[in-house]
Amino acid sequence: MKKVLKNLYKSYFSLSKGERVGMFVLIGLILLLTVFPFIEIKTNKETTNFDSFDSLVNQLNQNSKETIVEQRDKNQSNKNQNTRFEFNPNTIEEAGLIELGFTSYLAKRIVNFRSKGGSFRKADDLYKIYGIDSGLVSGLISYIVIPSIHKEENKPFEKYAYNNKSQKKVEIPTDINIADTIELKKIYGIGSKLANRIVVYREKLGGFYSYTQLNEVWGLNPSLVELLQKKFVVNKETIKKININTVEQKTLEQHPYIGFKTAKNIMAYKKQHGKFNKIEDIRKIISLKDSVIIRLNNYLIVE
């Protein structure tokens, strides 16, 4: 029995010489593959330094951004260079300056100059603004309208009349629709900011037709309105009116008394019924209140 088991063990578990060699080779490969990941392989490759490359890329990006900004302002200027209309550099808003062709930063500079008390006495004074585009100003000179100011001790000219009996000169009040900030600041309590605010609102309206409209200017209290009433007169003839038959909706809706909704209704009515024959025709627009129509009668014309 033992002999049988011994023969059986040898037949299943004994290895030939070739099998033993193959087994040792296999064990060797397994050990080599197990140890290989832990072997440090030294190379002569040097690490690439990208610092200078990154610096160059950043510089190119910065230059690209500056070029884009300059090109944008240039394109904006070129886009607006054919837009021409009469304007007063003492009262025109920043958006209007940009529309005329000034870059945004120059428009801000002009507005800031006025807000600090500066003013333009003649068209050529615009050249004195730092960084101004002289070529653009040259093309706009003929469109600049500044109310006549005569120099008398560096103060605005004041008109006088003489009383025949006493031969005393009597000051003739200035029309508030053409008064500049210098004249407005003569009123005690009105500084540069408030004077500029009055002029800006006046330009948006097209002019004042009543002293009560001064109460609509933010910051003007009743006592200041009363002082203005004593110093200035309201001349309706100097109001800038809008031709309702030719005006564009965008321009119409910028008026303080009109706005987007009313402008849209006026344009829709004109499109449906044709041009207005008389101003009273706006009463046919049902959505317009009587209070709005009364005020608009002072600013709209039909031609």
The yes-or-no verdict on residue 208 having pLDDT over 90 is yes
Q: Which domains does the chain have, with CATH numbers?
A: 75-143 (1.10.150), 175-238 (1.10.150.310), 242-301 (1.10.150.280)
Give CB contacts under 8 A, 24+ apart, made by 43-52.
none
The tens digit of pLDDT for each residue in 244-296 reads: 999 999 999 999 998 999 899 899 999 898 999 888 888 888 788 888 888 88
State the pLDDT at residue 157.
42
State the pLDDT at residue 136.
86
The whole-number average pLDDT for the span 94-122 is 86
Q: Helices marked H in the chain — which ranges?
A: 2-13, 17-35, 51-80, 94-100, 104-115, 134-140, 181-184, 192-205, 222-231, 249-252, 259-273, 290-296
Tokens 């000169």 locate to: 169
Mean pLDDT of the chain: 78
Find the range with the poorest average confidence among 54-58, 174-178, 262-266, 277-281.
54-58
Asked if 140 and 84 count as a contact pair (C-beta separation under 8 A), the reply is yes
Nearest CA-CA partner of 79 in 65, 99, 95, 93: 99
Residue 137, token pair as written in the block: 């100003």
Share of the chain above pLDDT 90, in %: 21
3-class SS of residue 256: coil
State the pLDDT at residue 156.
42
The whole-number average pLDDT for the span 44-53 is 52
Find the range with the poorest average confidence among 9-13, 17-21, 75-79, 205-209.
75-79
State the pLDDT at residue 45.
46
Cα dihedral sign, 234-237-243-248: negative
State the pLDDT at residue 12.
59
Find the range with the poorest average confidence among 33-42, 46-55, 214-223.
46-55
The tens digit of pLDDT for each residue in 62-102 reads: 655 555 545 555 555 454 445 678 888 888 888 888 888 88
Compute the distance between CA of residue 185 and CA of residue 149 in angstroms, rounded to an integer: 15
The yes-or-no verdict on residue 126 having pLDDT over 60 is yes
Considering the entire predicted model, what is its pTM? 0.46
Highest mean pLDDT among 60-74, 122-136, 186-200: 186-200
State the pLDDT at residue 135.
81
